Structure 1
Amino acid sequence: MIRLVIAEDHQIVREGLRMFLETQPDMQVVAEAANGREALEAVRQHRPDVLLLDLIMPEVDGLAVLRQVTQEVPETRVLVLTSASDDRMVLPVVRAGAAGYVLKTISAAELAEAVRKVVQGEPVLHPDITRMLMREVRRGPGAVAGEAFTQRELEVLSLLAHHLTNKEIAAEMGISETTVKTHVRNILHKLRVSTRAEAARYAREQGLG
């Protein structure tokens, strides 16, 4: 019997998932969670075979839950089921140890099959996610929007992860503040984000900070 915890903040979706999964003769839903904190508590208490996890969760976000579960309860396979298909989320989720990443556009039968596969140790990726992952790999470690970072931009990005100001980055790198501003502007453009905080978050997720 495959024991599952469902972590999904929308009640109607969570209930629908539970109703379907419990029609499967080899599956049992042992707990539900409406936020990331509850998901962690449920996994620690029940130690399920599979955590079905949405990435966009209140209190503790899905990526943080994934990282915590893979560290604390490595025997639990985490199958990400989400509507979040942003390129920037794919690599961090895979690197954090997800056993699978599927989108909510899949059919119920496909979801059941994905659960069975991750329990058997087979990685499961939605075709759209596979294409995104391939794009990420082809771009290399420093690009999200299709343009590779320069070495200087990577250095600035790493310092942004530590919340340094432009003035502090300039002093650290021995360049002018104007040059730092140019690098930051280019980084935001390549990441397709609008704030330094978003760039800093990306840098930390990629292990640059």
Structure 2
Amino acid sequence: MLRIAIVDDHEIVRAGFREMLSEETGLQIAFEAASGEEALALLRDTPCDLVLLDLSLPGQSGIDVLRTLRQRHAALRVLVLSGFPEERYALAMLRNGADGYLGKECERDELIRAIHIVAQGRRYVSARVAELLADELAGDASHPAHLQLSERELQVFLRLARGESVSAIAEALKLSVKTVSTYRSRLLEKLEVASNAELAAYAIRHGLILP
């Protein structure tokens, strides 16, 4: 029996995925969580094989949660289910440890197929993500700069773009203020912007956060 956790802050979304999975033999919902913090707490005592993880979560983002899962639960499989199109986040999430990436509008058959592929220890790549990877390998892609950021850089970038202070980010990510300031300087250089306001404008322009 494959034990699955659904981590999404919208009850209607969790209910939709729960219904999709309810008739599939061999799958069992281990738990549902409305936040990253809740999911990490439940994982301490609840056996689980695979997490369906949203990116847009209150508190710790899906990116934060993914990093923690890779540190604490290395064997746990993670399939990102996001409302953001593949072009926005898929390659970055795969580079940073996700085992697959699907849009929330996916059909039931694709979700079930992705779950089984990921559960077997393989990466799930949708047709669109496969195109993006092929373009990258062929050198034909013109990817925006944020796709080249490391996991930690992406964490700091999105928090800065949402208006969090350096000190608040340092506390949330358990880093020193000096380290976060270094990341900020690196981000300004890599994304070719000059301020936090421009970081926010970049994130909105590329659909990484809502305006």
- What's the CA shift string for 1:38-70, capped at 9, x where partnerless? 122223322411000111111110011111101
1:26-45 correspondence to structure 2 within 5 Å: 26-45=26-45
1:71-82 correspondence to structure 2 within 5 Å: 71-82=71-82
Report the Cα distance in structure 2 between the residues aligned to 1:136 and 1:56, rounded to whole angstroms: 26
**Structure 2 regions of 5+ residues with no counterpart?**
149-179, 204-211
SS at match of 2:58: coil
| Residue 162 in structure 1 maps to residue 183 in structure 2 | yes
1:1-209 correspondence to structure 2 within 5 Å: 1-85=1-85, 87-136=87-136, 138=139, 144=144, 161-164=182-185, 187-188=192-193, 195-196=198-199
**Structure 1 regions of 5+ residues with no counterpart?**
149-158, 170-182, 201-209
8 A contact 1:55–1:80 mirrored in 2:
yes
**Change over 3 Å in CA distance of 1:109–1:59 after alignment to 2:** same
SS at match of 1:5: strand
Aligned partner letter, 1:195 = E
**Residue 196 of structure 1: how far off its partner (Å):** 3.5
8 A contact 2:3–2:49 mirrored in 1:
yes
Residues matched between the structures, number: 169
8 A contact 1:50–1:119 mirrored in 2:
yes
Query: What's the Cα RMSD here?
Result: 3.6
Percent identity between matched residues is 33
**Residue 87 of structure 1: how far off its partner (Å):** 3.6
Report the Cα distance in structure 2 between the residues aligned to 1:143 and 1:28, rounded to whole angstroms: 38
What is the aligned partner in structure 2 of residue 153 from structure 1?
none
State TM-score, norm by structure 1: 0.67
Report the Cα distance in structure 1 between the residues aligned to 2:114 and 2:143, rounded to whole angstroms: 30
Report the Cα distance in structure 2 between the residues aligned to 1:198 and 1:92, rounded to whole angstroms: 20
Report the Cα distance in structure 1 between the residues aligned to 2:131 and 2:197, rounded to whole angstroms: 25
8 A contact 1:2–1:28 mirrored in 2:
yes
What is the aligned partner in structure 2 of residue 172 from structure 1?
none
Aligned partner letter, 2:125 = L
SS at match of 1:51: strand
**Residue 186 of structure 1: how far off its partner (Å):** 7.8
**Residue 33 of structure 1: how far off its partner (Å):** 0.7
SS at match of 2:55: coil
State TM-score, norm by structure 2: 0.67
- What's the CA shift string for 1:103-149, capped at 9, x where partnerless? 12221121111111111112102222233344455379x95169x9x
**Change over 3 Å in CA distance of 1:143–1:127 after alignment to 2:** closer
